[in-house]
Amino acid sequence: MMKTLIKNGQLIDPQNNISGLFDVLLIDDKIEAVAPQGTLVVSDTKEIDARGLVVCPGFVDLHCHLREPGFEYKETISSGTASAVAGGFTSVCCMANTHPVNDNATVTAFIQKQVRETGYCHVYPIGAITKELKGEALANIAELNDAGCIAISDDGNTVQNARLMKIALDYARSFGLPITTHSLEINLANNGHMNASIMSTKLGLKGLPNVAEDIIIARDIMLAEQSGAHLHVGHVSTAIGITLVQEAKERGAKITCEVTPHHFSLTDEALVGYNTNFKMYPPLRTRKDIDALKTAFKNGVVDAIATDHAPHGIIDKELEFDRAAFGIIGFETALPLSLNLVREGVITLEEMVGLLTVKPANVFNLSGGTLSQGRFADIVLFDQNASWTFDEGKIYSKSKNSPFLGTELRGRVIKTLVKGRLVYDVSSGVL
Amino acid sequence: MKFTRKNILGIADLSREEIEGILETALMFSEVNTRAIKKVPTLRGRTVINVFFENSTRTRTSFELAGKRLSADVVNFTSSSSALSKGESLLDTAKNLAAMQPDILVCRHSCAGASHILARYLQSTSVINAGDGSHEHPSQALLDMMTVLKVRKKVDGLRVAIVGDISHSRVARSNIYCFQKMGASVSVVGPASMMPSAIKDLGVDVHYNLKQGIEGADIIMMLRIQMERIKQSPFPSLREYSRYFGLNLETIKTLKKDALIMHPGPVNRGVEIDPGIADGPYSVILDQVTNGVAVRMALLYLLSNAQSMNL
């Protein structure tokens, strides 16, 4: 029996309405007790002094790409989960766009095997909605559910056929499986590469207009409401999109949504210079959209901060802007960017922790995200104020495609524990 | 004029002073082009590579002549003969060319920003953007400006109407910046389906009616309908486009007497412009081509000079 006491920290556990000076005792891989500072008297414990740090449940990411199987040159389950724990994430949900696609139980089982053998944290696979993400025929959704997929999504290959989407929502609902979406109407997208705005006009790049996102958010909300299915709208980036979600929630629909740190941190003005590390899907929008997203955070409309961690190698990124892949890595910058929302007074520190832990866990019914007794001891310790520079050499992901390279960030993960085991320590790295 | 830029990537980057400096230099070189022996030793020993990833006859020939008339060694590298068709990336191609130590790369590419990306990776080679996707075509705007200046002496206060597919046009963007910087006011004319997002924010007037758009204009710049670049047509037919937005013998009756009609070429006769007008009294289309060589000589000269100053 191994006992660990994390003491003297500012403990935040939104699920149990705790925020203050509390210690937490772990026995082996589980949470044993949370109690006011100094009140847990235990013998034979290993102690971790968390003075000056926030102690909270490990972060839960509803949206990432681990690239294995098929694109191991971009990321593997090992490197991706190393990056996750370095960013404070202890549970991540990986999208189905691997090669082969995670549209059947064999691929799901392979991912789970790799996680067991090489992973640093919990990984929950998301299955495909349609076979090979082609948007033509449903994948074996019940089989994926049985195999352990916690949701289904075609992500960047948005199901364009509204009837097929309706069938998918109805079918998934039969098994209680949520559907998560990337909202993009492909004809309106017109092979655009960035937000359609004065910036796309100046840069001469084809635009991806907001309406291409809005129209699918509206469609899927209508279909989900009619079906009664749970729709989780992935990475909402537009002002109208987030309003549509808010209105649906007010009607009592089973709609949840996530927002990425980059979408509330950067605007399309960052694209001057054609740096492909600013090319993502949905694209960076405008100040007006960011303001609407922040208002939504303030009003509690957003259920989760999700990274959409999307590693790409230099052969995918060091290209003409039109030809470069969409996406950026996100695990290791999520915390400092989210803390900006706290510093700007958009949300409280407790709310931020909630958006990275229990709220996302609840969206897909995952067991992480709390420090309740008996749960796995998935814990992160972070320093809210530590300033550091995000250098390429410090990145744990196999890919380095981040728009924040060389940027000074504030807020840093100090330690991450998964099932009671220290897997990341800022001074010694991923363990 | 002290010209210290390493690259010419777009008009948006240039100041009015720099534009005027380039044009003064170009006027100087245009005299060379009228001599019997059209060659000066100015750039002897310099190497210029024209890297054309997209087809072009006029711009490539113009840059090639410009380099040769300045006695530079000019090599052409076109996509059909290039490593690109063998799967080599833009950057690898660029790095290989740079390893041969040219002084200047002139780049034409179908992707916006291609020249910017090259310039970022090439430390000791100057890059001239000879057209990048729908972004900019700075040497075209400069030669257009030179053409106007030769006739009108002064651009301040002139009214310019640019007509056609503004959305896909790099010529439009470079000319909007160039004319505005030189003190002219610019209108864009065409159906709304051919206007890019938030075009008004560039400080132009937008007209959806040709007659209204060109009324009182001193310069009418007709853009080429680029069927090759448009996947889903923003207008129903060439015939309808031509009837509503093409310049014909009827519409030119409303023009000011001293108006100039320009076109970046190649002209689709009978589509954006009536065959008779392209060769008619208002047209300065061939002067544009002539001035193109002088402007490109000026750019090559100024970039080489800037390089020597940095040595």
Residue B96 shares a structural domain with residue B81: yes
Residue of B nearest to A271 (CA): B113
Is B279 within a domain?
yes
Distance in Å, alpha carbon of A196 to nearest chain B alpha carbon: 6
Is A377 exposed, middle or buried (CB count within 10 Å of its CB: 0-12, 13-18, 19+)?
buried
Give yes or no for a contact between A267 and A286, defined as CB atoms under 8 angstroms apart: yes
Q: What is the mean pLDDT of chain A?
A: 97
What's the pLDDT score for residue B311? 41
| A384-406 mean pLDDT | 97
Is B200 within a domain?
yes
Q: ipTM, 2 decimals?
A: 0.91
What's the pLDDT score for residue B1? 64
The answer to whether A88 faces chain B, any CB pair under 8 Å, is no
Is B295 within a domain?
yes
Residue B276 shares a structural domain with residue B299: no
What's the pLDDT score for residue A131? 98
Number of domains in chain B: 2
What's the pLDDT score for residue B8? 98
Q: Which domain holds residue B177?
A: 138-286
**pLDDT grade for B3, boundaries at 50, 70 and 90:** confident
d(CA A263, CA A347): 16
Residue B277 shares a structural domain with residue B298: no
Contact B134 A206 (CB under 8 A): yes
The answer to whether B144 faces chain A, any CB pair under 8 Å, is no
| A109-113 mean pLDDT | 98
| A294-321 mean pLDDT | 96
Query: What is the three-class DSSP state of A383?
Result: strand
How many helices, marked H, and strands, marked E, lie in chain B?
10, 9
Q: What share of chain B has pLDDT > 90, as a percent?
A: 75
**pLDDT grade for B85, boundaries at 50, 70 and 90:** low
Contact B89 A274 (CB under 8 A): no
Residue B128 shares a structural domain with residue B151: no
Question: Is A308 among the residues known to form the active site?
Answer: yes
Is B3 within a domain?
no
What's the pLDDT score for residue B63? 98
What's the pLDDT score for residue B245? 95
Maximum CA extent, chain A: 67
Interface of A with B in 204-223 (CB under 8 A): 204-207, 209
Residue B306 confidence (pLDDT) above 70: no
Cis upstream peptide for A100 (omega within 30°): yes
Residue B216 shares a structural domain with residue B115: no
Distance in Å, alpha carbon of B37 to nearest chain A alpha carbon: 40
d(CA A310, CA A312): 7
**pLDDT grade for A272, boundaries at 50, 70 and 90:** very high
Query: What's at B37, amino acid-wise?
Result: I
Structural domains of chain A in order of their starting residue, each with its CATH number: 3-55+375-430 (2.30.40.10), 58-363 (3.20.20.140)
Contact B173 A320 (CB under 8 A): no
| B229-243 mean pLDDT | 83
Contact A201 B198 (CB under 8 A): yes
Residue B16 shares a structural domain with residue B63: yes
Q: What is the mean pLDDT of chain B?
A: 91
Residue B187 shares a structural domain with residue B298: no
| A156-172 mean pLDDT | 98
The answer to whether B132 faces chain A, any CB pair under 8 Å, is yes
Q: For position B281, which CATH number holds?
A: 3.40.50.1370
> Which phi and psi angles does B89 have, rounded to 5°?
-80, 165
Full strand arrangement of the beta sheet holding A89-94: A59-64, A89-94, A122-125
The answer to whether A169 faces chain B, any CB pair under 8 Å, is no
The answer to whether B108 faces chain A, any CB pair under 8 Å, is no
Is B117 within a domain?
yes
Residue B179 shares a structural domain with residue B298: no
The answer to whether B199 faces chain A, any CB pair under 8 Å, is yes
What's the pLDDT score for residue A175? 96
Query: Among the listed ranges A140-144, B68-72, B74-78, which one has the minimum average pLDDT value?
Result: B74-78
Any residues with CB less than 8 A from the CB of A298 and at least 6 apart, and which? A346, A347
What's the pLDDT score for residue B96? 87
What's the pLDDT score for residue A1? 85
pLDDT per residue as tens digits for the range A53-91? 999 999 999 999 999 999 999 999 999 999 999 999 999
- Assign 3-class secondary structure to B46-69: CEEEEEECCCCCHHHHHHHHHHHH
Residue B179 shares a structural domain with residue B143: yes
What's the pLDDT score for residue B90? 81
Is B1 within a domain?
no
Catalytic residue among A103, A154, A308, A378: A308
Residue B74 shares a structural domain with residue B166: no
Q: How far is residue B248 from each of residues A83, B251, B255, B276, B283, measured CA to CA in Å?
A: 64, 5, 11, 8, 13
Contact B116 A273 (CB under 8 A): yes
Residue B123 shares a structural domain with residue B144: no
Residue B123 shares a structural domain with residue B162: no
Q: How far is residue B115 from each of residues A249, A387, B104, B128, B169, measured CA to CA in Å?
A: 47, 36, 12, 7, 17
Is B39 within a domain?
yes
